[in-house]
Structure 1
Amino acid sequence: MLATAAGALLAVTAAVLTAPHAAQAADASTGFHVSDGRLLDANNKDFVLRGVNHAHTWYTARTPQALKDIKALGANSARVVLSTGDQWTKNDTADVAAIVSQCKASRLVCVLEAHDTTGYGEAGAAVPLSRAVDYWKGIKSAVEGQEKYIILNLGNEPYGNTGYANWTSGTTDAIKSMRAAGFKHTIMVDAPNWGQDWSFTMRDNAAGVFAADPDKNTVFSIHMYGVYDTAAEVKDYLNRFVSQKLPIVVGEFGDAHSDGNPDEDAIMATAQQLGLGYLGWSWSGNGGGVEYLDLATGFDAGRLTTWGQRLFNGANGIKATSHEASVYGSTDGGGDGNGGTSPCQVNYRLSDWGSTFNADVTIRNTGTTAVKGWKLQFSFPGDQRVNSAWNAKVSQQGKAVTATHEAWTETIPAGGSVSFGFNGSSTSANSAPGAFTLNGTSCTKA
């Protein structure tokens, strides 16, 4: 979003669920990549963004300390605002290279975004995504070879509330142009409608956009402000991507906004439940009537605002849920307390509809030898019951659940994974199991 508020948004309208689409794995790369709907780092470790936005282009001198402070408060990532030079002073190659170095020095994954596309078609000074592509090509030397540490956010909120029907073709063309220019990075793409996708244009066309990326390495970003003022809206939107195995993050959100009061509690809880990334807006320096979105008063990490305290230190917040990217040699292993030495990693994703739910489970072999024949055990935290399963045999005694392989999922190659799923029912609040063991060995949680 801009430091000044965007125009009023239209009401959310109903839409029919699109057919499931499995996001296929990107080719093996030296950097971030998408596999089976998940963002993985260069070590093939699941990575969940837990960070904040920083308005670098307006506060360039603040960036080195801001990144250090954001890291010290527990974040694993920061989304850094850049300008193509079309609306604001251009952040040139040298400047971007310095930002990349500062991100790495602070052991942060940085999402670099081009901001001048904000509200194209409605905001008079905004430029199309093709101009953002030109910008990325112009500063390519600053980001090339840094695919382990950065993600490129193609253009911020690239369409307003007019002309948004062009989002699909415009985004597809921009991704193809980036790939043709040799960019191998994970590319993040923002939704139209000032990022909020009230028209469901991104939601209903994401599968086609992903398929059109030659590298299959696109992540979708929704900005949740006033349109997402109920838990039902938050859960419905995010679950529709998860059910299609399409990678989605909440690239921006706040605890208040001029267009309505977003449900930040639901945003953070649902993101944590589904294992999805989020990045709060924004570190400091907001103006134009939205100063309440500052996380820190006057760029002072010692003076967090109420919103800052909520995001960093509250339930499902950054401090409690963030894990450093493994490319920095982290030993937190996904936060399970076993020092990251486990030879397995489990990702448990929920698609919850209240009384019924689906759980998609991926077991990743992080060891050096193949696992042939496996038994995964865990316990439900509530009254969940398994009804049916696929790609594994699943049994339950009380809260204890045991899943064993089928003939076609028997072997987990070294560095590889197998997936299975099940349908269940529950009469109480649903959440992921707290721990998993594979053949009696504790696994980390993705």
Structure 2
Amino acid sequence: MKRSRAALLAGAVLAACTTLWAGFPAAQGAETPGFHIQDGRLLDANNQEFVLRGVNHAHTWYPDKTDQALKDIKAAGANSVRVVLSTGDQWTKNDAADVSHVVDQCKQNKLICVLEAHDTTGYGEAGAAVSLDKAVDYWVGIKDAVVGQEKYVMVNIGNEPHGNSTYAAWTNDTTSAIGRLREAGFDHTLVVDAPNWGQDWTFTMRDNAADVFAADPDKNTLFDVHMYGVYDTPAEVSDYLNTFVDAKLPITVAEFGNKHSDGDPDEDAIMKTTQSLDLGYMGWSWSGNGGGVEYLDLVQGFDANQMTDWGKRLFDGADGIKATAKEASVFG
């Protein structure tokens, strides 16, 4: 078919523009469905690196405190909150309607929401704890509360899913849980806790993280170590975290304290090292601790005006939340 000179010229210009555009990389900030991992780093939906700087809140035990607590946590400077939920196996189940409300409140306060199922804590050693498989059943059951919220929510499959006796099963259990959630349609960043009550003193998570990450069809798994008495020297903190960084595997410290019943964690080293490596940290916990660990409260009695010494250290001290937290770009 014959084409006019004008049409030929227009086609040449279009071809030139297409060739020129093809020479540029994909536009930075182009949206993806939600949080994702790239080269061992956590990126938000705008492809901006996001570093967790937040606290834990025990929603499942104090649901009536949550709305105000989230406002106060944000006002104190945090950019994220890790929210304790129950599958209904050990404590009262947080159903889809309740979880939807929590997510809405997090978004209203411009806090990234890391939702965790707590009933798995110490599985194999703690008698009432349930398996990661049971936790997956829970997430699938409340799927409507979190699917579509990938820009604002990360799913922490199960808290500290093995104690100190069955930790060898962690790799298979975690891989299976990730696979089931992906098959069920969860495209979120999935956060997986270490065994050994979260502290991974056996290095089970550290030594198997690459295989677990590779098995995730979305390659969107964030590893989570909890640092308490096992991490009582700067060298132990640095060696553990740098192993992940050197391997370009994503790691965060989603629980730590300034002291604990199992020893004296080096909170200064934890905060300094994570800051120097651009890794996340989340202190345990806002308020409501009992059973002899009341010293882990960041504020007394859920009163933001009664910040404890631990709270002052975490929020106001060197490498603290106020000095280092940056709000997620998805809040614009």
Tell whether the structures are fold-level matches, with TM greater than 0.5: yes
Q: Which amino acid aligns with 1:134?
A: D
Q: CA deviation at 1:30?
A: 1.1
Cα distance in structure 2, aligned partners of 1:65 and 1:30: 29
**Paired residue for 2:72?**
69
Residues 1:83 and 2:97 are matched in the alignment:
no
Amino acid at match of 1:171: T
Contact 2:32 2:47 in 1 (8 A): no
Partner residue in 2 for 1:146: 149
Aligned-partner Cα distance in 2 for 1:37–1:196: 20
For residues 51 and 97 of structure 1, what CA distance do their matches in structure 2 show?
20
Task: Say if 2:300 is the partner of 1:286.
Answer: no
Alignment partners' CA distance in 2, 1:173 and 1:146: 23
What SS does the corresponding residue of 1:34 show, helix, strand or coil?
A: strand
Correspondence for 2:190 among 187, 190, 194: 187
Provide the secondary structure at the position in 2 that maps to 1:52: strand
- For normalisation by structure 1, the TM-score amounts to 0.67
* Structure 2 residue 207 is the aligned partner of structure 1 residue 204: yes
* Counterpart pick for 2:242 among 225, 239, 247: 239
Partner secondary structure for residue 58 of structure 1? coil
Counterpart check, 1:249 vs 2:252: yes
Deviations 1:375-431 (A, max 9, x none): xxxxxxxxxxxxxxxxxxxxxxxxxxxxxxxxxxxxxxxxxxxxxxxxxxxxxxxxx
Query: 1:54 is aligned with what amino acid?
Result: H
Compute the displacement of 1:111 (Å): 0.2
Which residue, 169, 173, 177 being the options, matches 2:176?
173
CA distance in 1, matches of 2:96, 2:58: 17
The one-letter code matched in structure 2 to 1:142 is: A
Alignment-derived partner of residue 425 in structure 1: none
SS of the aligned residue for 2:119 comes to coil
What does residue 20 of structure 2 align with? Answer: none
Q: Which moved more, 1:28-37 or 1:213-222?
A: 28-37
Tell me how far apart the structure 2 counterparts of residues 289 and 266 of structure 1 sit (CA, whole Å).
Answer: 24
Give the number of equivalent residue pairs. 302
Q: Secondary structure at the match of 1:223?
A: strand
Which residue of structure 1 lines up, in the alignment, with residue 50 of structure 2? 47
C-alpha distance in structure 2 between counterparts of 1:286 and 1:131, whole Å: 26
Q: Identify the residue that residue 279 of structure 2 maps to in structure 1.
A: 276
Q: Distance in 1 between matches of 2:33 and 2:219?
A: 15
2:99 pairs with one of 86, 96, 111: 96
Q: Distance in 1 between matches of 2:299 and 2:58?
A: 13
Amino acid at match of 2:169: N
Letter in 2 for 1:155: G
Q: Match of 2:82, SS?
A: strand
2:160 alignment counterpart = 157
Q: Which amino acid aligns with 1:326?
A: S
Per the TM alignment, residue 29 of structure 1 is displaced from its structure 2 partner at its CA by 3.2
Report deviation, 1:45.
Answer: 0.2
Name the % identity: 74
AA at the equivalent of 2:132: L
Counterparts of 2:329 and 2:166, CA distance in 1:
41
What is the distance in 2 between the residues matched to 1:131 and 1:29? 30
User: Who is 1:428 aligned against?
Assistant: none
After superposition, the C-alpha distances for 1:19-64 in whole angstroms (9 at most, x for unaligned) are xxxxxxxxx8310000010000000000000000000000000000
5+ residue gaps, structure 2: 1-30
- Aligned counterpart, 1:124: 127
User: When you count helix as a share of all residues, which structure comes out higher?
Assistant: 2
Q: How does 1:327-342 map to 2 (within 5 A)?
A: 327-329=330-332
- Measure, in 1, the Cα distance between the counterparts of 2:97 and 2:81: 19
Could you tell me how far apart the structure 1 residues matched to 2:268 and 2:174 are?
30
Q: What residue identity is the alignment partner of 1:47? A: F
Which residue is 2:225 aligned to?
Answer: 222
8 A Cα contact 2:32 2:46, kept in partner: no
* SS of the residue 1:250 aligns to: strand
- Secondary structure at 2:252's aligned position in 1? strand
Contact persistence 2:251–2:279 (CA under 8 A) = yes
1:320-361 CA deviation, whole Å, 9 max, x = no partner?
0000000000xxxxxxxxxxxxxxxxxxxxxxxxxxxxxxxx
Stretches of structure 1 that go unaligned for 5 or more consecutive residues are: 1-27, 330-446
Quote the Cα distance in structure 2 between the aligned partners of 1:193 and 1:211.
22
Distance 1:211 1:218 in 2: 9
Aligned-partner SS, 1:116: helix
Residue matched to 1:339: none
CA deviation map 1:195-219 (0-9, x unaligned): 0000000000000000000000000
**How far apart in 1 are the matches of 2:182 and 2:83?**
22
Residue 112 of structure 1 pairs with residue 115 of structure 2: yes
TM-score scaled to structure 2, two decimals?
0.91
One-letter amino acid of the counterpart of residue 84, structure 1: T
Per-residue CA deviation, residues 163-211 of structure 1 (Å, 9 max, x unaligned), is 1000000000000000000100000000000000000000000000000
- 1:367-406 correspondence to structure 2 within 5 Å: none
